[in-house]
Amino acid sequence: MKILAVSLVAIVMLLSGCVGYIESEAPSTPMPPAPVPETPMPEAPVPEQPVEAIDQIDQTEVVLPDEPPINRTWVSPGKVNIGNFYPGARAEYPMTIHNGNDTNASFAVVYRYPDHVATGYVKPPIEAQDWVIIADSTPILMPKETRDVLIVLAMPEDANINDKKWEFWISIMDTTQTGNVKTELCVRWLVDMR
C-alpha cells in the first residue's frame, strides 16, 4: 500500500512538472509562416570550360567487387564438394580457367595427390587418379580468355573404398611460365561417400 501511494505521488509530480514545463516553453503567440519569394531564384552559372580530371584511372587495373581480375591468371571454383557419392556414381563440374597474360598460354590440367586435406577428410586411394577424367588436359588460351574445362569423377561399380570422406586436387599450371618460380593453382575436390 505504501509503495502504491509513493508511486501515485511520483506520477502526479512527474505529470505536473511536465505540464508546467510544456506550458512554460510553449510560445504564447503562433509564429507567422516564412515569406515565399514571388520571383524564382536565379540558377548558378555554368562554367564554360569543361572540368578536367586530375587523376586518370587505368581501366585495365580496376577490379569491381565480386569480379575476378582480368590481368591475372586464375581458376574457379577453389573447392568442389561432392556429397552422397558411391561406387558406380558419376559427378562432373566445369572448372573455369582464365589467362591473365598478354600472350597465349598453354596450361596443364592434371589430377594431383594433395599435400594436405581438410579437417575430417583423408587423402584419396591410389586408384582415384584413374577415376578422374579431364575433358581438355592441355588447353591453350588466348590473352585474357576465360574457358571452362569439364572435370569428371567416375567411380567404377566394383570400387572398394573404406573411407567416408576423402579429398583430391586438380592442378592447373601455365606451362609457358618462365623463370625459376612457377605458380601452380589447385582446385580441391572434397568427396563424401554414402
Is 96 within 8 Å of 151 (Cβ atoms)? no
Tally the C-alpha atoms within 13 A of residue 92's C-alpha that lie toward its C-beta.
11
- Per mean pLDDT, which range of 65-69, 96-100, 188-192 is the poorest? 65-69
Q: Which amino acid is at 2?
A: K
Question: How much is the pTM?
Answer: 0.66
The pLDDT tens digits for 113-137 are 999 999 999 999 999 999 999 999 9
CATH superfamily of 65-193: Immunoglobulins (2.60.40.10)
Q: Cα 189 to chain center, whole Å?
A: 19
User: Measuring CA to CA, which residue among 143, 140, 142 is closest to residue 71?
Assistant: 143
Q: Percent of the chain scored above 70 by pLDDT?
A: 66
> What average pLDDT does the segment 77-81 reach?
96
Residue whose C-alpha cell reads 575430417 in the numeric block: 120
Give me the pLDDT at residue 48, please: 62
The pLDDT tens digits for 17-39 are 544 444 444 445 555 665 655 66
Q: What is the DSSP secondary structure assignment for residue 135, as one 8-state letter? A: S
List the beta strands (DSSP E) in 14-154. Answer: 74-76, 79-85, 90-98, 105-112, 132-134, 140-141, 146-154
Residue whose C-alpha cell reads 580530371 in the numeric block: 53
Backbone angles phi, psi at 167, to 5 degrees: -135, 140
Backbone angles phi, psi at 66, to 5 degrees: 65, 15
Distance CA 190, CA 69 (A): 26
User: Measuring CA to CA, which residue among 159, 157, 81 is closest to residue 120?
Assistant: 81
Distance CA 59, CA 53 (A): 14
Distance CA 37, CA 192 (A): 76
Q: Quote the cell numbers at residue 7.
A: 508511486
